[in-house]
Structure 1
C-alpha cells in the first residue's frame, strides 16, 4: 500500500471513511458525523491523497468502495468499534456482578487486623469477587503495584515511595506477656527500660519494626526465638515468661485479657500507621475506586 503523509491520517478521517463505506453516500456520512457536506468532501479528498487511492467511485447512485477500501474497511470497522466501546465505558462499577480477583500485599498481622472486617463487608456486596493476599518483600511491592501484579499494598510500609496512598489506621507497638507474669503484677505505673532488659523475647522475622525496637533498646541480644510467622507466638507467650513486641490493637482485639497483659512501657518510635498503597496507573479504574472507598469507609479514623 502506498502511504503518503501518514501523520495526517487521524481518527476523524477513519471515522469519515467508515461512515461513507457503511452509508454509501458522502452527504449521509456528513449528516451522521455532524459535518457539512463540503467538510466531508474535503476530508475524503484528503484521505484519498494520503492513501493514494480513489477509495470510492460513484455507481448506480451510491459510493462503491475500491478493492483497497474493502481491505481497509475490514480493519477500520472493528478497530473503531473497539475504540468507541472503550471510550463509552461507564465510569461506574457494579460490584454485585463482578468476577474480579482482588490481589493485595498483606503480612499475617495485617490479615488478622483487616481481613475479617473487609470480608464481612465485601462478600455480601460483591459475592463474585475473589480475594488473594500475599506477603511480598518490601523491595518488590512498588513494582508489583506498577505492573498490576497486585492491586493494593496494605500495612506500615515506610520504605515504599512513588505510590498513591491513604492512611487507614494508627496504632502503637506494645510489650505483651502472660497475665500471671511477675513483671505484669509488679508494674504499678510504668515499665522502665531497665525492667524490659530483664525480659527475654520472641519476634517474627518479617516484622522488621519490632526487631528495630528491640535493637534500639539494646534488647536484640535477649531474643530467644525468631520465627517466620506470628501465629504460634501467643501460645508460646501464654506458656512461658517470654515477651513479644506487637501492635497494641492486635493484642487487645485478639488476645484474651485474662491470659495476656500489656506492659505500660514507652517504646521508642512506637507509633505507626497502616496505609493503603496503589499505583497512579490505576487511579481511575472504577472497580479499584470502589474498593478503595470500601476500605476507607471501614477503617479510616479507627484506632486514632
Structure 2
C-alpha cells in the first residue's frame, strides 16, 4: 500500500491557519477579519471549514468574545510557532545595498590576488561599502572547487590553467589578464633566451605543484631551466631576487608594483607563452548572491581600471 505523506496536512487548507491564529489572539471575528483584510462573512466561512476539517468547534461565542475550546488552546502555540517560522523563512531576501551592508564574505585568494587588487578594492569600499567585511583565506588548490561547493568560501580568485575542469555548479568569469615578465637584480643588462636558460631561477608554487606553466612550455620547446628555489609566497620572492643572481617570472602588473619596494629590473620573457589569467569563481546557488554579484562587478571594474592605468 502506498505511503501517503502528511495525510493531515493534505486534508487541511493551510490558508486557514492564519484565520485560526488571528481569532485566537483577538478573541474576535471582526478584529481577526480586519487584521487579515477579509470580510467578517468570509472569515466566518473559513472558520466553519476549519471546524469541519478538525472536527472541533474550536471557538465558542460568549457575548462579544470568541472563547477557545480545550483543543484550540492546546493547538494555538504550535500554530503560532509554525506561522512565525514560515514567515521568517519565506520572507524574500532583501536586495543587496552596498552602502548599508554588513555581509561577511569569505574569499579564497593567493598572494598575487591579495597584493594586486585588495589595496585598490579596500580604498573604494571604505566609501562605497564601509560595513562589508572580508575573511581572506589562502586558496588551498585551484579553483577551490570543494570549498565553493561546500559553502566554505563565497568567491575564489584563481589562476586559469589548461587543465581546468569546469563544474556545472560553479560560475567562472575572466577577471584579470596579464603578460609574464622576468625580474632580476639591477646588475643585469640584458636577457636573451640563452641567458634565461643559463641562469638559476626562483619559482612561486602556491600549491606546491611539481611543474609550472613556464616549465611546461619550455619542455615543449625542448628546454629545461635550473630551479634554485621553490616558494609558496610571491611576496618574499622579489626581495630574494634583488639580493641574488636568481631570475623570477611574474605578471607584469605585480612586477611594476614591486619596483618602488625593492631593487629589481624588469625584462621581457624571452619566449612566447599564453597570457597569465585570473578568474573569479563562485557557486551558482550561493546564499549571498546579491553581495557576491555586486563584488564581482566591482572587481571587474577595478581590473579594467588597473589595466587601462598602466
- Going by fraction, where is helix more abundant, 1 or 2? 1
- Gap regions ≥5 residues in structure 1: none
Please, what is the CA RMSD of the aligned residues? 3.2
| Alignment pair present for 1:165 and 2:169 | no
Structure 1 pair 273–186 and aligned structure 2 pair: CA distance change class (3 A): closer
C-alpha distance 225-77 of structure 1, shift in aligned 2 (>3 A): same
2:28 and 2:120 map into 1 onto residues whose CA distance is 61
Q: Which residue of 2 aligns with 1:108?
A: 111
CA distance in 1, matches of 2:205, 2:229: 10
Q: Give, in whole Å, the separation in 2 of the partners of 1:11 and 1:171.
A: 58
CA distance 1:220–1:71, shift in 2 (3 Å): farther
- TM-fit CA distance, 1:112: 0.5
Count, aligned residues:
293
2:258 to 251, 254, 257: 254
CA contact (8 A) 1:177 1:263 kept: no
Q: Is the 8 A contact 1:4 1:49 kept in 2?
A: no
CA–CA separation in structure 2 for the residues paired with 1:276 and 1:178: 33
C-alpha displacement of 1:246? 1.4
**Contact 1:4–1:51 (CA<8 Å) still a contact in 2?**
no
Please give the alpha-carbon distance, in whole angstroms, between the structure 2 residues aligned to 1:300 and 1:8: 59
Q: Distance in 2 between matches of 1:285 and 1:83?
A: 22
State the match for 2:302 in structure 1: 298
The reply to whether residue 177 of structure 1 matches residue 184 of structure 2 is yes
Find the partner of 1:274 among 253, 267, 278.
278
Q: Deviation per CA, 1:193-223: give whole Å up to 9, x if none.
A: x553223211122165971221330355521
Give the TM-score taking structure 1 as reference length. 0.80
Contact 2:173/2:281, CA 8 A, preserved across alignment: yes
User: Which residue is equivalent to 1:212?
Assistant: 213
- Structure 2 Cα separation of the partners of residues 90 and 101 of structure 1: 16
Alignment of 1:65-104 (within 5 A): 65-85=68-88, 87=91, 90-93=94-97, 95-96=99-100, 98=102, 100-104=103-107
